[in-house]
Amino acid sequence: MQLRNRLAELRRDRGWTLRALRERVLERTGAVLSISYLSELERTDALPSLEMLARLARAYDLSPQDLLAPVDLPAGDPALGEAGGAAGGGDALAQYPPGLRALIARGTVTPEWAGTARPHRVPRPAAPL
């Protein structure tokens, strides 16, 4: 799923208009966003800043990790090397959802911030006895 689709899905699932989302961001974070900017995020491949993602996540009562969990990495993303949509970025990043791994690999997220982020854990099947 692309980030723009994730953002549109979250808003629509809650039955919010862009205006309602703008008000919620303002209430939760104090940030004043334009409706046209929020619309652009849902219509284009614009990549908002980490700060903006955190504000949007807060408006939806989600962590940034939960906001990005279903977001896929683009195949062959140069920031992640040849692996692209696979785990990419090495074993240290495998614990994070793909969208967050992309931000870490591009340098948008600092190593200090990434170290404090709650890892996304995928349940593993129990080992046979």
- Do 43 and 100 lie in one domain? The reply is no
Range of the domain at 29: 3-68
Task: Give the residue with greater pLDDT, 74 vs 20.
Answer: 20
- Do 21 and 63 lie in one domain? The reply is yes
Does residue 47 fall inside a structural domain?
yes
- Do 58 and 9 lie in one domain? The reply is yes
Please say whether the beta carbons of 6 and 67 come within 8 A: yes
pLDDT at residue 49, rounded to an integer? 84
User: Any residues with CB less than 8 A from the CB of 28 and at least 6 apart, and which?
Assistant: 55, 58, 59
| CA-wise closest residue to 93 among 7, 53, 77 | 77
Cα distances from 81 to residues 27, 55, 70, 124, in angstroms, run: 40, 29, 21, 26
- Do 94 and 45 lie in one domain? The reply is no
Report pLDDT digits (tens) over 5-54. Answer: 999 999 999 999 999 999 999 999 999 999 999 999 999 888 888 889 89
Number of domains, the chain = 2
Torsional class of 10: left (φ above 0), alpha (ψ -120 to 50), beta (otherwise):
alpha
Q: What CATH number should be reported for the domain holding residue 57?
A: 1.10.260.40
pLDDT at residue 46, rounded to an integer? 82
Does residue 129 fall inside a structural domain?
no
Handedness of CA 54, 16, 42, 24 (dihedral sign): negative
Residue 120 has pLDDT above 80, yes or no: no
Does residue 17 fall inside a structural domain?
yes
Rounded Cα distance between 81 and 123, Å, is 26
Least confident span in 25-29, 62-66, 104-108: 104-108
